[in-house]
Amino acid sequence: MASLLPNHSIISSSSFSTTSRRSPSSPQGLNLHFPPALSSSFASSLSVQGKVYQRSNLFQGLGFFRDDQEKRRSLPRVVSAVRHFTGSLTNTQGLRFAVVVARFNEVVTKLLLEGALETFRRYSVRDEDVEVYWVPGSFEIPLVATQLGKSGAYSSVLCIGAVIRGDTTHYDAVANSAASGVLSANLHSGVPCIFGVLTCDDMDQAINRAGGKSGNKGSEAALTAIEMASLFEHHLKK
């Protein structure tokens, strides 16, 4: 390994001899012995191509030792007291759920509802702790979800609908309004309102997501409702 001195001469690590004896002048535990001609060159600093290298940095670059203090300062600090909170899918006792379902595209929304109700039962939510509210379409879901959330009677509100793209821009208006409306219901009611509204290009996509090859999104939304209800009930409730 070689390095350029200010006079452009080449030296290698073999030019130095080292011992492991600790001395006050060498806190890293090394005594470095230089040839007499080089001692003054390393006395304080070394300038190479306009950059000034302090003696310890030069030695570190040559591989003689590491600055342990600098190394420790560069390591990330580990916080040992971090607490994590999450909702439980198994502790569902005392949780109550409302499901708001759009009647429009009922052939799809009924399948989504069936998937949601089956999931509630599978995770020990009693039938009497689930109530279903039907509305004409997905556009009407947010208003009802907000009122149900504000009532304080439910741990979570699950919103189910299906918006399928047609030949006009009506799809975009309804889909965007449903999504932003359910978000607003969350914020204004203080109760988790879960978005389970399908927004699909055609009926085949919707059927596939209502129990077909893509699973049942109503069931997935019910799982989210349980987890969020549990998180609020056990960790965030004032």
How large is the average pLDDT for residues 212-231?
A: 97
**What digits encode the pLDDT tens for the residues 133-170?**
999 999 999 999 999 999 999 999 999 999 999 878 89
CA distances from 80 to 77, 83, 86, 90 (A): 9, 9, 19, 28
Q: Is 170 annotated as catalytic?
A: yes
- Catalytic residue (choose from 8, 33, 84, 170): 170
Name the residue ranges covered by the structural domains of the chain.
2-74, 97-236
Question: What are the beta bridge partners of residue 210?
Answer: 216
**What digits encode the pLDDT tens for the residues 36-57?**
554 444 444 454 455 554 554 4
How large is the average pLDDT for residues 187-206?
A: 97
pLDDT of 29 strictly over 70 = no
Q: Note the Cα 15 to chain centre separation in Å.
A: 53
Q: Which helix (H) or strand (E) holds 102?
A: strand 97-102
Q: Are 145 and 156 in contact (CB under 8 A)?
A: no
How large is the average pLDDT for residues 106-112?
A: 98
Q: Are 154 and 145 in contact (CB under 8 A)?
A: no
Q: Which residues contact 184 (CB under 8 A, 6 or more apart)?
A: 142, 146
CA distances from 198 to 96, 151, 164, 202 (A): 24, 26, 8, 11
**What would the CATH number be for the domain defined by 97-236?**
3.40.50.960
Q: Rounded to two decimals, what is the model's pTM?
A: 0.66
pLDDT of 111 strictly over 60 = yes
